[in-house]
């Protein structure tokens, strides 16, 4: 663990309190969806596509502000870790249905054929989707 003075300097230099507030808003916005998915997952494919789009959009808005510091320099119980885990959990539950909706409703630009299958990078998101 980094010395306290270094962690304090990092907190001030990268405005971690402000960033923590953005992560907290993300958590407040998407915890109800996670609760619904755990308790009574009835989202259809289109709803999963919409939820996934909004989930990733909102997560990236915060993530792109984050300085990507090592854990030793972050506060204990860092909101960014909680936000990452929540985003991962939701994504894992809905991504297959979202992809099925895309497969049914989108086509390639040139010939109007089916979309190509997702590459391996899709399944490596968040550590692994399988």
Closest CA to 59 of 31, 89, 23: 23
The reported pLDDT for the residue numbered 55 is 97
Which regions in the chain score pLDDT beneath 50?
none
Please report the pLDDT score of residue 58 as a whole number: 97
Q: Where would I find the H helices in 64-115?
A: 79-105
Q: How far apart are CA 16 and CA 69, in angstroms?
A: 11
User: Measuring CA to CA, how many Å separate 53 from each of 5, 47, 60, 102, 127?
Assistant: 40, 10, 11, 12, 19
User: What is the pLDDT at residue 75?
Assistant: 85
Rounded-to-integer distance, Cα 48 and Cα 15, Å: 34
């Amino acid at each position: 663990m980094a010395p306290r003075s270094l962690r304090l300097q990092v907190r001030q230099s990268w405005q971690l309190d402000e960033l923590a507030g953005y992560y907290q808003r993300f958590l407040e916005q998407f915890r109800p969806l996670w609760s619904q998915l755990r308790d009574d997952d009835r989202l259809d494919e289109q709803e999963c596509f919409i939820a996934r789009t909004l989930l990733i959009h909102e997560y990236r808005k915060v993530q792109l502000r984050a300085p990507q510091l090592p854990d030793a320099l972050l506060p204990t119980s860092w909101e960014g870790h909680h936000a990452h885990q929540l985003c991962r959990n939701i994504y894992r539950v809905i991504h297959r249905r979202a992809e099925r909706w895309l497969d049914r409703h989108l086509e390639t630009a040139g010939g109007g054929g089916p979309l190509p299958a997702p590459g391996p990078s899709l399944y490596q998101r968040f550590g692994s989707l399988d």
